Amino acid sequence: MPPTITAFANSPDRGKGQARDMRVRWALEEVGQTYDVRLVSFAAMKEPAHLALHPFGQIPTYEDGDLALFESGAIVLHIAERRAGLLPTEPNARARAITWMFAALSTLEPPIVELGMAMLFERDKGWYAERLPMLQDRVRVRLGELSRRLGDADWLDRAFSAGDLMMVTVLRRLNASGLLDAYPDIAAYVARGEARPAFRRAFDAQLAVFKAAPAS
């Protein structure tokens, strides 16, 4: 039996691949692991059956036999540890790739998500115009640092790894912000990730869900 992941039945991003099932799909595609998808509504995510899998009532989850996981980072790491293709075998390189996964999730993602949330939900607030530049600057600081580290390399630590997969999915959340326009090297890095055949397969699979969903 292939593993089963959960994804939005009706993703609010309208198939842009911004929900966090995208990184799990991509990881599964990179390692050549087939998978099933169980689509869940917002209401179903808060029902006991889903809460038993995910204490915070979110997607994605991952089930394989008697193992159930939540948190996209933990799921991608689990996939990468069990099948070849996403983590180097040399121990130090492997540890560095995992470090980049954590950096993506705990250093880059928080300010990027905070900016995205403000742009989505706070535009009509009196404080928005004052707060926006501060949120943008926090992201720019990280982009500048990332850009300096990336230099003219294709990937963060020589070969493509789960660290790059995670970083690219996090950076893609800036697509609508326009901030990446000032960082052509990072934009090119994201584009390299998006050009990978495994990314394309994962993207197309989640887009197909959006296209098949009844209009909401």
Interface ranges with ligand GTB (CB under 6 A)? 12-13, 18-20, 45, 57-60, 71-73
Nearer to ligand GTB among residue 63 and residue 185 (C-beta): 63
Residue type, 63: E
Closest separation in Å from C-beta 101 to ligand GTB: 11
Nearer to ligand GTB among residue 126 and residue 178 (C-beta): 178
Nearer to ligand GTB among residue 12 and residue 32 (C-beta): 12
Closest separation in Å from C-beta 121 to ligand GTB: 11
In Å, how far from its chain's centre is CA 101? Answer: 10
Closest separation in Å from C-beta 149 to ligand GTB: 23
Nearer to ligand GTB among residue 19 and residue 156 (C-beta): 19
Q: What secondary structure does DSSP assign to the chain, as a single string?
A: ---EEEEESS-TTTTSS-STHHHHHHHHHHHT---EEEEE-HHHHTSHHHHTT-TTS-S-EEEETTEEEESHHHHHHHHHHHSTTSS-SSHHHHHHHHHHHHHIIIIIHHHHHHHHHHHHH-TTSTTHHHHHHHHHHHHHHHHHHHHHHHTT-SSTTSS--HHHHHHHHHHGGGGGG-GGGG-HHHHHHHHHHHTSHHHHHHHHHHHHHHHHSPP-
Nearer to ligand GTB among residue 55 and residue 91 (C-beta): 55
Nearer to ligand GTB among residue 45 and residue 79 (C-beta): 45
Closest separation in Å from C-beta 11 to ligand GTB: 6
Residue type, 64: D
Closest separation in Å from C-beta 184 to ligand GTB: 24
Closest separation in Å from C-beta 43 to ligand GTB: 10
* Residue number, nearest CB to ligand GTB: 58
At residue 171's C-alpha, the angle toward residues 207 and 209, to 5°, is 10
